[in-house]
Structure 1
Amino acid sequence: MNAHVKVLIADDQPLVRRGLALMLAPEPGFEVVAEAGDGAEAVRLAHEHRPDVVIMDIRMPVLDGIAATARLTAELADCRVLALSTFDMDEHVIGALRAGAYGFLPKDISPEDLVTALRVVRDGEAILAPRLLTRLIATHVTAPDRPAPAPPPPGTNGLTAREREVWRLIAGGLDNTEIADRLAVSPSTVKNHITGLFAKLRVRDRAQAVIAAYESGLVTARQAP
């Protein structure tokens, strides 16, 4: 059986909050414990209700969603954030993930996709809409005026050749099974490589690893699988 999931909804539009709550109401195992109209209220209510996942709008008054996500990440380790926004611009995606969000999805997702995303985030995995990941990579790799690469992430020099290869394949969008097939190893071996890779890079999940790879310039479009 799926674990019980407590959800807090943060959005400055009452109609959006009510719509999200109604979408989740018939779903077994979900409980909307609170609703917030701005980021500051979301942080306060999260401390009070201890939700498993906060559905966080990005553009809100008082405290925006990115700043609120950063506070929740620092203050409530067991509370995970799923960012939703009508404005799926690249800077918002990067800002939310850097702040500690476990996922970023557009508001036009289906109820079924929202429920799936909440369970994925609740289980500690990252989720990013495919169209956003594609645009994010394209922007950071192919834009003619892209900024200079950032310094390599901490721990890069300590990566093994196999860990670098796994990192490159992750940045190319391959999942664990596809990486295992490409490298002719078992999925469990790939998982072990990824655990070591994430620890050395000091990233939490695949989304942060992809951003680190492209922003550092260690992976380029021509290197993608």
Structure 2
Amino acid sequence: MMRDGQAALVSRQKSSLVLVRPASRQVRANGRPVFVVAINNLSKGPVDFRVAQVEATQHVAGSDYGMQVVTYEMLVQEEKNRQVAAAVFTGLAAAGNAYSASQAGYGHYPTPSGRTGTFYSPTAATIAQSNATAQNEAMIAATVETGQRNMAVLEQSVIKDNTLMPGEWYGGQLHLAPPVASEGGGAKTYTIVITVGADRHVIDIAQGAAGA
């Protein structure tokens, strides 16, 4: 089956239908695999989907390795940590701008005796401080805007716990921890088990090399 121009894996069980496809046409080397999951409730009653019941296993050279499902809450915490780091860097840059502006009104000139004199220009200082304030406000606003936008994207795109009513579709992005390296850098294979109500959907996936 094709979804948005990409092949989607389909699993149909007694009470539900699950479609899975990669979120991106190319997977970044050593990056997290991200899949778009769509679930349809085929039953006549409500069914539950719980992210905690999703299982992922990678198969490498005859061995199986559990893959962590990166939940919405984990992604939100990562984004909060990123915002804290960004705020620190923004604060340091703003402090540097403010200090430079505070020194902008000072200048030096040579005296007849060969020494160096110092002068202060209130006008130059005012202009520099005004420019620094504008730059700092723009940096802070951009940092806040980026954080809010990233949070909104996570809220809208990442799959979460949900109860599906009869006939209802629900879906979102499923993020997994990066798989371990395969021999020779070839394709990686793993199995994702998605539980919907009493149904277990087993999805076998082969992830090609990055850029392949």
TM range (shorter): under 0.3
The one of the two structures with greater contact order (alpha-carbon pairs below 8 A, sep at least 6) is 2
TM-score by length of 1: 0.20
In our comparison, the structure showing a higher alpha carbon Rg is 2
Which structure: greater strand fraction?
A: 2
TM-score by length of 2: 0.21
Which structure: greater helix fraction?
A: 1
